[in-house]
Structure 1
Amino acid sequence: MSKTRIGRWMTLGLTLGCVLAVTITRARAQKPSSYMPVVEGDFSTVMARMKSEKPAIESRQAALLRERYDLANRAASGVTMFRGKPVQEGVRVKLPAGLTWDQLANMSPADVKAKGVFPAGFYPLPHPNHPEGGMLFPKMEIDEVKKQEGRDLTRFDLDHDLPEHLLPEFPAAVFLTTRPDLGDAAKGELITIDNYYRLFNGILNPKQLEGLRLLVTTFPQQQFNQTDDRRSEKPSRGVACFDCHANGHTNAATHLVGDIRPQEFRHRIDTPSLRGVNIQRLFGSQRALKTVEDFTEFEQRAAYFDGDHLTAAKKGVNVLERGSQVHFMAEFQALLDFPPAPKLGIDGLLDPTKASQQELRGQELFFGKAKCGSCHPAPYYTDNTMHNLQTERFFTPKMINGRFAAADGPIKTFPLRGLKESPTYLHDGRLITIDDTVEFFNVVTQVHLTAEEKKALISFLRTL
């Protein structure tokens, strides 16, 4: 056989091989995968496309929120967070037409499901762009970090979806178990790499101060890094732990949990407060990590990168040293205390000489008829375990803006101390106010509270 003919056959073989490889690759791409898809392309082209898609995506999410909730700025009279931000009041979840809350609460789960009347605001809340996901910060955080550090947490493809009046106080106060005499140890400032030393030198010991430094140090993250498949216009140094857990609390930054596949089953996560970490025994809404050291290490190694350690390696994950750095970070987190609750005694219960009759009645309901205390016992109002509310009893699973609303599974019992300081509620932030939360649990647990009993229970919860 001539060399020319051999060359032709080799060329044909290579061509067929390439076609077969592309076909196999495409076939594999259509199947669900445990790994994050990585699409490398011209960055400016990708950014232009995503910017052009942004208005439609945000309009879709805004329409969902309007359908579900009353988002008005309606503050409770005389009820504020520690630094004075008003607490929002009233049930914001909208009911199906022609239905009252009492009627809904008196229906069986099977009837609610059959009639399709489970309120839209009780379904799982999708990420503002669920198919894309990723860390997303409220504007107040973006503006302050940019002012202090010149670091930009803006995503070119997406903005935060909830209005600021519904979010936690910002910057949040910082309370230390070791120095309760200080009150707000942050003095009204957002703690960053620029001011942590000035604010806490002489208050913390050297290990704790180093732990705080690491908590305000930026690390590469899935959407904020140096690669072309980032979601910031300029290459980014990354994010810090305290960008989401601002001042050791929460600013309602949102993300998708890294521990569920496929994408449509991943839960939106409303950043939980780190206050009271020292009394908690489970970490992560569903991962049930057993120590705050575990949480700190694996959050930075994996959750920052949507739970994909291969992507983490590509984007420059900074692996922390467990025996010193992780330990120092955990030691500081363990100092973060709950806000003062002047009406509570040392047992975590109301002092009858300080509480109103309505608040005392609410406490009685909390530990009695409402059955809240069975999962949220005093003094910190958590049983440090997990519970499955089985909300899927009330609805037929369906797709909502890219999120497949189905069973949530067991969720960690979050502490209720300082509850009024950390809206929104439930692990994904689907409940806007404490009033919404009471209505939700009244329906789901079927305890049949009256309107007056609900008011009393809300009054008690605000004292925590």
Structure 2
Amino acid sequence: MQRTKMIWALLAMASIVGGLSLAYAQQDPRGATSYLPVDIKESFASIMERMKAAKPDIMKKHADLLNARYDLGNRPAKDVTMSRSKPLQEGVRIKLPSGVTWDQLASMSPAEIRDKKLFPKGFLPLPHPNHPEGGMLFPKFEIKEVVKQEGRDLTRFDLDFDIPDHFLPEFPPPIFLTTRPDLGDVSHGELVTIDNFYELFNGILNPKQIEGMRLLLTLFAQQQFNQTEDRRSEKPSRGVACLDCHANGHTNGGTHLAGDVRPQANRHRIDTPTLRGVNIQRLFGSQRVMKSVEDFTEFEQRGAYFDGDPVIATKKGVNILERGSQIHFMAEMQELFDVPPAPKLDVLGKLDPAKATPAELRGQEIFFGKGQCSACHAPPFYTDNTMHNLQVERFYKSEMINGMLATADGPIKTFPLRGIKDSPPYFHDGRLLTLEDSVEFFNLVIGTKLTATEKQDLVQFLRAL
């Protein structure tokens, strides 16, 4: 009898300990492993068939999320274009919770907004179209042009790009060089590829810079584009080039997941930033805080291309570049991509009163005053070259969104605002589709309580940058 009681007591204790362990495991923020699977047991044909079959449901789920967050209509602003000619989308596209206005939200405390679940969904972190899978994903216009010029296909059989074209940068974007501002756009309306770079830049760049451009256009194996059975291209791929995302030294809006975070649900979506103005930047990567463009170039090719996993990089074909020449040449070329002309700005980066409109001048006053924008974005390039933590998580409770954990972003680098109208969508993960969305976001997060007219004037100023 006593033995039976002891057995039941031990079983009860084990049950309690097991329950505690299970509860701890459910709260444990660590993933099962930091490493990607190397030895794949499923054939490529089986993987592709399975993922193709799953694609429609995955894309529909993500499309439903976008439509719930945003007004995705094509409504360009009148007489406002990017540097070449693409119309800029206007208006607040973030959908508000039912029964609340922007002014009402701005009058609430972060805790009140959080507790009442009133934080607009479009202000939450934006997941990758398939967050558990992730990987580089290119807009269709980039895919089409690369196929045309090189016969190389950047299509993924498992996913399509998600954000509509009218919210993306113009394509192909113009190229401005810090060394030859007298030439204006040197791209002649072409997407620079390995097929045409020499013709476009011979006689403009020196031989070292031309070699840097060649390397930026050279294919390197990448997580989704390689020859292995766990690739995401239908045919074996030679890889991707740096300028496949940074089209013409700018951006095409392509997306992927930051390689430096684990577990997968905690990884951040990354909207490809422009390379324009790299020469004035002192920090590289949205959160990595690398101190030189050489460091960033080497890290991208060695690590970020393979989701930050050097083990899988070895399997898929990492190409180690020589730091003293190749990395240096690539970095030098990147530092030549200039910001677009801003004819209304003076030599100090502020508006010339003789050229600016009254609304733009009022917007500039708000930018440097009530709006507190200049606390981080100082002229002439409108960055302070440091990082800031906006603590947006004050406004919402952590939740899973299509495989992504919407939680604290942490510190994010201050991106330059010069030429900002050329670089939609905005914020590091592209969650803000228009400049109007961006103004509403910061008005709420920083608590500046701008009026409707002040918001409009601030947008006019940002367009002039």
Q: Classify the TM-score, shorter chain.
A: over 0.9
Is the 8 Å Cα contact of residues 40 and 229 (structure 1) preserved in structure 2?
no
Q: Is 1:302 matched with 2:303?
A: yes
Q: Which amino acid aligns with 2:317?
A: G
- Listed as ranges, the matches of 1:310-321 within 5 Å are 310-321=311-322
- Listed as ranges, the matches of 1:68-147 within 5 Å are 68-147=69-148
Separation in structure 2 between the aligned mates of residue 445 and residue 134 of structure 1, nearest angstrom:
32
Give SS of 2:445's match. Answer: helix
Give SS of 2:383's match. Answer: coil
Equivalent residue, structure 1, for 2:175: 174
Note the C-alpha offset of 1:106. 1.0
Give SS of 1:87's match. Answer: strand
Is the 8 Å Cα contact of residues 211 and 329 (structure 2) preserved in structure 1?
yes
Is the 8 Å Cα contact of residues 225 and 315 (structure 1) preserved in structure 2?
yes
Q: Is 1:364 matched with 2:365?
A: yes
Equivalent residue, structure 2, for 1:157: 158
Q: Which amino acid aligns with 2:130?
A: N
Give SS of 2:256's match. Answer: strand
- Listed as ranges, the matches of 1:18-37 within 5 Å are 32-37=32-37
Equivalent residue, structure 2, for 1:445: 446
Q: Is 1:252 matched with 2:253?
A: yes
Is the 8 Å Cα contact of residues 361 and 456 (structure 1) preserved in structure 2?
yes
Equivalent residue, structure 1, for 2:435: 434
Q: Which amino acid aligns with 1:79?
A: V
Give SS of 1:299's match. Answer: helix
Separation in structure 2 between the aligned mates of residue 418 and residue 106 of structure 1, nearest angstrom:
32
Equivalent residue, structure 2, for 1:11: none
Separation in structure 2 between the aligned mates of residue 31 and residue 363 of structure 1, nearest angstrom:
46
Equivalent residue, structure 1, for 2:290: 289
Note the C-alpha offset of 1:37. 2.7
Give SS of 1:361's match. Answer: helix
Is the 8 Å Cα contact of residues 74 and 89 (structure 1) preserved in structure 2?
yes
Separation in structure 2 between the aligned mates of residue 215 and residue 248 of structure 1, nearest angstrom:
9
Is the 8 Å Cα contact of residues 31 and 262 (structure 2) preserved in structure 1?
no
CA shift digits 1:260-311 (9 cap, x unpaired): 0000000000000000000000000000000000000000000000000110
Separation in structure 1 between the aligned mates of residue 284 and residue 298 of structure 2, nearest angstrom:
12
Separation in structure 1 between the aligned mates of residue 107 and residue 444 of structure 2, nearest angstrom:
8
Is the 8 Å Cα contact of residues 54 and 157 (structure 1) preserved in structure 2?
yes
Q: TM-score, normalised by structure 1?
A: 0.93
- 311-320 or 35-44, larger mean C-alpha shift: 35-44
Q: Is 1:223 matched with 2:237?
A: no
Separation in structure 1 between the aligned mates of residue 41 and residue 159 of structure 2, nearest angstrom:
20
Separation in structure 2 between the aligned mates of residue 248 and residue 383 of structure 1, nearest angstrom:
22
- Listed as ranges, the matches of 1:351-390 within 5 Å are 351-390=352-391
Separation in structure 2 between the aligned mates of residue 356 and residue 139 of structure 1, nearest angstrom:
37
Q: Is 1:51 matched with 2:52?
A: yes
Consecutive aligned runs of 4 or more in structure 1 exceeding 3 Å deviation: none
Note the C-alpha offset of 1:32. 1.4
Give SS of 2:450's match. Answer: coil
Give the gaps of 5 or more residues in structure 1: 1-29
Note the C-alpha offset of 1:323. 0.2
Separation in structure 1 between the aligned mates of residue 330 and residue 101 of structure 2, nearest angstrom:
48
Quickly say closer, same or farther: Cα 1:200–1:114, change in 2 above 3 A: same
Separation in structure 2 between the aligned mates of residue 419 and residue 68 of structure 1, nearest angstrom:
23
Note the C-alpha offset of 1:203. 0.3
Note the C-alpha offset of 1:224. 0.1
Separation in structure 1 between the aligned mates of residue 162 and residue 445 of structure 2, nearest angstrom:
26
Equivalent residue, structure 2, for 1:324: 325
Is the 8 Å Cα contact of residues 31 and 263 (structure 2) preserved in structure 1?
no
Give SS of 1:269's match. Answer: strand
Is the 8 Å Cα contact of residues 209 and 330 (structure 2) preserved in structure 1?
yes
Q: Which amino acid aligns with 2:37?
A: P
Q: How many residues align?
A: 435
Note the C-alpha offset of 1:181. 1.4
CA shift digits 1:190-227 (9 cap, x unpaired): 00000000000000000000000000010000000011
Separation in structure 2 between the aligned mates of residue 105 and residue 83 of structure 1, nearest angstrom:
36
Give SS of 1:337's match. Answer: coil
Separation in structure 2 between the aligned mates of residue 36 and residue 429 of structure 1, nearest angstrom:
26
CA shift digits 1:30-70 (9 cap, x unpaired): 96111113434111111000000000000000000000000
Q: Which amino acid aligns with 1:307?
A: G
Is the 8 Å Cα contact of residues 40 and 228 (structure 1) preserved in structure 2?
no
Cα RMSD, aligned residues only: 0.8
Equivalent residue, structure 1, for 2:186: 185
Give the gaps of 5 or more residues in structure 2: 1-29
- 178-187 or 349-358, larger mean C-alpha shift: 178-187
Is the 8 Å Cα contact of residues 69 and 95 (structure 2) preserved in structure 1?
yes
Q: TM-score, normalised by structure 2?
A: 0.93
Quickly say closer, same or farther: Cα 1:69–1:31, change in 2 above 3 A: closer
Separation in structure 1 between the aligned mates of residue 100 and residue 449 of structure 2, nearest angstrom:
16
Separation in structure 2 between the aligned mates of residue 396 and residue 374 of structure 1, nearest angstrom:
28
Give SS of 1:207's match. Answer: helix
Equivalent residue, structure 2, for 1:268: 269
Separation in structure 2 between the aligned mates of residue 386 and residue 450 of structure 1, nearest angstrom:
28
Give SS of 1:79's match. Answer: strand
Separation in structure 2 between the aligned mates of residue 120 and residue 298 of structure 1, nearest angstrom:
33
Equivalent residue, structure 1, for 2:67: 66
Q: Which amino acid aligns with 1:281?
A: R
